[in-house]
Amino acid sequence: MDLHVLGWNHFFEHCWETHARQGLTPARVVEEQKEAYRVVGKSGELAAEVTGRLRHQASDRSAFPAVGDWVAMDPILSEGKAVIHEVLPRRTRLSRKVAGERSAEQILVTNLDIAFVVMSLNADFNRRRLERYLGAIWESGAQPVVLLSKADLCADRQSAADEIAAAAPAVNTHILSAVTGEGLDAVTPYLSVGKTVVLLGSSGVGKSTIINRLLGTATQKTLEIRSGDDRGRHATTYRRLFLIPAGGILIDTPGMREFQLWDADTGLDDTFDDIGALSANCRFRDCQHNTEPGCAVLEAIASGTLDPDRMTNYQKLKRELQFLERRHDPAAQAEQRKWLKQVHRAQKQRYKTKG
């Protein structure tokens, strides 16, 4: 297997050369199920597990391999398996807070280039949820793209597209139907050799059907929509990386019932950059946009140029991050945030400039 087809590039080559990994070979994690992994390298696909040393030295769950990671492994070809000794530095990482009350990071996928946010036009359309996804994606360093699926079940597609344009003015949006094939041609330009794309969204929005269409085979299990409420049903139960025959790499993910942000301050600023631009014109530098005189944000809401629900959601997400930050260990997060922001800032600016 050619590693460059799997996404190997100069970044990982440099990471590999800066450390002596005698006897080990690079591979990419294509599947993870409760700390049981499958990796793909030059010798093909192998079942894998981490070494006791890696397990012992891991400071938290985020130090373990995730789908999309490049790892240093020791292949045991006679047994069809491998041992993972090290996780290479991640070029990008998409995370969320773990579900429930515990304050911890859950890495969804790593080393991605593009994130497709899939929303179905029949029963899943939600601008506020989209803004939450975009905050995490911009923070990750990837380029977000919105896919409005199940176009065959929607009569008024343009109104939905206009709403997305208002919520995500710097993000490309495509309307498609994986059932009929309509609009899929607009997706293929994102799938070039070595580029990694992840599909995100709620259960039943059609992610697996889209992947099957792009793969040209019914690889992922799909389920019919429920007759009672016109919603799709949960089919994918774990993250999995696939190679597209025509080039590119796709990662399917299970539908997410909740998506709590994790360390996404700059991601929110990018998602709500229109509010940031208005804030620069407020009379007071520390304006909270509540009742202050001379508030440019409140003036925009009053004039109808800014959706009040968009502002409410922005403030809600900011409060959520502030609450989470109080539960963090600031010292433990500072170094990681500094490095990620330096790496991702240039990428995000380039994506937004391209439009």
For residue 73, what is the enclosing H or E element?
strand 70-76
Phi, psi values for residue 329, rounded to 5° = -95, 105
CA distance 87 to 69: 7
> What is the 3-state secondary structure of 116-175?
EEEEECCCCCCHHHHHHHHHHHHHHCCEEEEEEECHHHCCCHHHHHHHHHHHCCCCEEEE
Domains and their CATH numbers in the chain: 3-87 (2.40.50.140), 93-252 (3.40.50.300), 265-354 (1.10.40.50)
How do the pLDDT tens digits run along the chain, 355 residues long?
899 999 999 999 999 987 767 889 999 999 998 879 999 999 899 999 999 999 999 888 889 999 999 999 999 988 889 999 999 999 999 999 887 777 788 999 999 999 999 998 877 788 899 999 999 999 999 999 999 998 888 878 888 888 888 888 889 999 999 888 899 999 999 999 999 999 999 888 989 889 999 998 766 655 454 445 454 444 556 899 999 988 899 999 988 877 888 888 889 999 999 999 999 999 999 999 988 999 999 999 999 999 999 999 999 999 988 888 776 655 555 666 676 676 677 667 777 776 5
DSSP SS3 for 294: coil
For residue 70, what is the enclosing H or E element?
strand 70-76
Task: Yes or no: say if 108 and 253 are a contact pair by the CB < 8 Å rule.
Answer: yes
Two tokens, residue 334: 């500072």
CA distance 134 to 306: 18
CA distance 84 to 25: 10
The DSSP secondary structure of 183-222, one letter per residue, reads TGGGTGGG--TT-EEEEE-STTSSHHHHHHHHHTS--S--
| Pure H helices in the chain | 10-17, 52-57, 127-140, 157-167, 207-215, 265-271, 273-279, 296-303, 308-327, 330-354
CA distance 28 to 6: 7
CA distance 295 to 281: 8
Q: What angle do CA 198, 67, 151 make, to 5 degrees?
A: 20
Q: Which residues contact 186 (CB under 8 A, 6 or more apart)?
A: 174, 176
Two tokens, residue 124: 């899943």
Phi, psi values for residue 173, rounded to 5° = -125, 135
